[in-house]
Amino acid sequence: MRRALDRRQLRALLRAYFRMSLRGRAVRAFYRRKPSKLGGAIAMVLLYASMGAVAGLGATGSHDPFSFALVMHSITFVMLGMSLAAESGDLLFNLPEHDVLAHMPLAPRTMLLAKAASLMGFALLLGLALNLPPMFLGLRVTGMRWTFPLVHLGAVVLLVAFTTATIVFTYGLVGRFVDRNRFGSVAAWSQAGLSAAFLGFSQVLAHLLELPRFRLDRAYALVYPPAWFAALDVLGAAAPPPRAVPLSLLAVAATLGLGWMAVARLAPGYAGALAQLGEAPTLRARPARLSAERAPGGLVGWWLRDPLERAAFRLTAVYLRRDRETKTRLYPSLGFFLLLPVAQLFSRATYSLTAGAFVSVLILGMLPSVILEALRISSHHAATEVFAAVPLGSAAPLFQGTRKAAIYYVILPGAVIALLWIAATDAEKLPVAVPSLLALPFLSLLPAAARDYVPFSEPPTTGRQSTANIVIGMVITLVGATMLAASWAAERAGHLSHLIALEAVGMFLACRLLGAHIRRRPLRREA
């Protein structure tokens, strides 16, 4: 197999990827208006820059330049890692794209390098946006030299390359060692695992190592990549602490080594995995295990008595189970949200167990939007033209069926686990969770509040899932935390039962009104 890198092909591919990423892939969306070409990218950059500003302002309180750099590199590593984990499936294993390119004379190495560079371009955009304010805020830290913006820029670029290489390397390994029949689900779980690993890095180590007093001369610095890149920062922009030089060298060597391994050594495995994914004839439906794939009966049957809702429910259940792309998009997002409460367990605070349980309730509020937004997207979006062909007046039954599948398969089990967790740690606090749980039905209606919701009808666009996760996370955290605080305050004041009763009535009315609004809106195709 020819392994040489063809620079002309690489340039042509990069040019095409760049154009496509600027234009977005949503131009053929059937049920939505054409998006502005750069609107999404600008919103994403602004979001990351504002998060960077907040983080940078917070970190200026650090007692030395290294601590500041470490905080910023840790945040960058985690944010980029999770964003790339959520997006990389679409970029690296895009089947429609495989149909276009598989018969072209492209060496696997050229193909993988083009994809990795495209992925890195996306990560660079996020990484630079996130670090732009801290580059200048860092100058306020005592002992930081004027060279910091420049040095930090270089270190961030290297960190972006390292993070991208980690993702590509992981997929290369999966492609090389996993057979095709299991590749889809293994890739999805690997992505979720990567997401978990990046989150674990931030949460676990932040607690265990007490980040502000992190020391480079300890062994743990060797296994914490952000420390290597922070060492680079202080080497060029402050008085370097001991071992900054070897750790900086480790940053450079690890990036080059991992990048080389990913692109040069694992490229044939990647090409093989892509070819395997294209082998559609073997993709057999597994025997129906989910009750939704069979005719639902009992209480679920009554809940899904509308045939259209039932059809949408089944479609969603099948995609959740069988579609590699849906799984690779959804699992990392779920991993991100589900691991946050678990991370609380590693806190040294005595209230950590109860706090973890309540964070899980808070997270439950985010899940409906995260899941439903992920289920809006699919590369099979053209197939949803069938909903325009059938006599369907409104998208409401499609939305309700999808929503009910999300509730049945993810949110309901999550709520049960959260309640059991609270009951096991502090049973007396169980009623405090009720107001947050009461809000779930209303929160799950929100994705269809402003526009039609047709499952799988929108094509994937790079950056969309990770941005959606962040925005949803920020909004629901604010609302949910307020609600939890109100519950806590009401409990202390002895008015919790009043609050629950009031909220139950309010939520019931809000659900009825929003449900009616969604039901009455006629299904609109793209203009």
Partner 1 sequence: MIRLRQLSKRFGEVEAVRSLDLEIPTGQLVGLLGPNGAGKSTTVKMLTGMLPPSAGTAEVFGLDVVRDPVAVKRLVGYVPESGAVFETLTGWEYLQLVASLYGLPDGEAAARILRFAEFFELAEATLRRELLAGYSKGMRQRVVITAALLHNPKAIFFDEPLNGLDANAALGFKTLITSLAREGKTIVYCSHLLDVVERVCERIVIIHQGRLIADGSLAQLQEETGEASLERVFNRLTATENLLERAEEFARVLAR
What is the contact surface with partner 1 in residues (CB under 8 A)? Answer: 1-2, 6, 8-9, 11-13, 15-16, 19-20, 23-25, 27-28, 96-97, 99-107, 181, 275, 278-279, 281-282, 284
- 3-class DSSP state of 233: helix
User: CA–CA distance from 208 to each of 81, 213, 220, 339, 376 (Å)?
Assistant: 20, 11, 10, 16, 39
The amino acid occupying position 368 is P
Token reading at 269: 């495995």
Query: CB 24 → partner 1: shortest distance, Å?
Result: 7
Query: CB 494 → partner 1: shortest distance, Å?
Result: 60
Query: CB 185 → partner 1: shortest distance, Å?
Result: 15
Query: CB 97 → partner 1: shortest distance, Å?
Result: 7
Q: Which is nearer to partner 1, 20 or 43 (CB)?
A: 20
Residue in 453, 415, 451 with CA at minimum distance from that of residue 433: 415
Q: Which is nearer to partner 1, 4 or 299 (CB)?
A: 4
CB of 254 closer than 8 Å to CB of 267: no
Residue in 248, 405, 426 with CA at minimum distance from that of residue 315: 405
Q: Which is nearer to partner 1, 460 or 473 (CB)?
A: 460
Token reading at 31: 């049920």
The amino acid occupying position 198 is F
Q: Which is nearer to partner 1, 27 or 449 (CB)?
A: 27
Query: CB 283 → partner 1: shortest distance, Å?
Result: 9
Query: CB 27 → partner 1: shortest distance, Å?
Result: 4
Q: Is 393 exposed, middle or buried (0-12, 13-18, 19+ CB in 10 A)?
A: exposed
User: CA–CA distance from 341 to each of 259, 347, 431 (Å)?
Assistant: 33, 10, 19
Q: Which is nearer to partner 1, 13 or 230 (CB)?
A: 13
Crossing angle of the two packed helices 352-375 and 412-426, in degrees rounded to 10: 180
Handedness of CA 8, 9, 14, 15 (dihedral sign): positive
Query: CB 390 → partner 1: shortest distance, Å?
Result: 19
Q: Which is nearer to partner 1, 7 or 265 (CB)?
A: 7
Q: Residue 522: CB partners within 8 Å, gap ≥ 6?
A: 393, 394
Q: Which is nearer to partner 1, 6 or 64 (CB)?
A: 6
